[in-house]
């Protein structure tokens, strides 16, 4: 999945989880929802290395639970913390349903306890370099589908509350 889908899931977690209605809390949810893809950023910054192979070390329960759990400490006690951790786990769920074409197919959900690969492959994937043009019609369709499934329903369900939150002085002042 792309950051489009993961960010849609972040907004869902932020709205559904009784987290503080601030830009900082929303930013934390967006960060956690995309955190497992830090391997892309590391590859961009430091070049391709075995430790940065996509989905090799960052797409597992230990990585996601530890980092999202630590970041959850930035929120007040309560449902917001659980919502943040659930949002981190949503990354793995979303990537589980996307078609994986790069070997090895799937990700090691239970790493470091198991090398078993997990992937059901139902949702269209994005073509990444060097395997094709990033700005292709195929990717535009895949991103549009992600937006239709993971962003638009969240915006539709929470439209009134999102408008209220974004207009509130407390959202911007925190």
pLDDT in tens, 53-100: 777 889 999 999 999 999 999 999 999 999 999 999 999 999 999 998
- Look up the pTM and report it: 0.92
Q: Are 120 and 107 in contact (CB under 8 A)?
A: no
CA distances from 139 to 67, 107, 133, 134, 146 (A): 30, 22, 8, 7, 10
Among 90, 80, 101, CA closest to 59: 90
- How confident is the model at residue 132, as a pLDDT? 61
pLDDT at 80: 95
Q: Cis ω on the peptide bond leading into residue 141 (within 30° of 0)?
A: no
Locate the domains of the chain by residue range: 3-173
Specify the residue for token string 């769920």: 93
Ranges in the chain, pLDDT < 70 = 129-133
């Amino acid at each position: 999945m792309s950051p489009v889908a993961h960010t849609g899931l972040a907004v869902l977690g932020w709205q559904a989880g009784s987290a503080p209605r601030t830009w900082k809390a929303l930013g934390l949810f967006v960060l956690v929802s995309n955190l497992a893809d830090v391997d892309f950023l590391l590859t961009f910054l430091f070049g391709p290395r075995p430790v940065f192979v996509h989905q090799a070390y960052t797409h597992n329960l230990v990585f996601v639970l530890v980092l999202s759990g630590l970041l959850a400490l930035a929120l007040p006690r309560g449902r917001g913390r659980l919502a943040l951790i659930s949002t981190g786990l949503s990354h793995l769920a979303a990537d589980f349903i996307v078609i994986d074409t790069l070997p090895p197919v799937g990700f090691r959900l239970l790493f470091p306890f198991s090398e078993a690969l997990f992937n059901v492959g139902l949702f269209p994937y994005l073509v990444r370099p060097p395997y094709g043009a990033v700005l292709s019609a195929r990717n535009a369709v895949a991103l549009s589908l992600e937006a239709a499934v993971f962003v638009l329903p969240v915006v539709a369900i929470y439209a009134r509350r999102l408008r209220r939150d974004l207009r509130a002085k407390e959202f911007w002042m925190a």
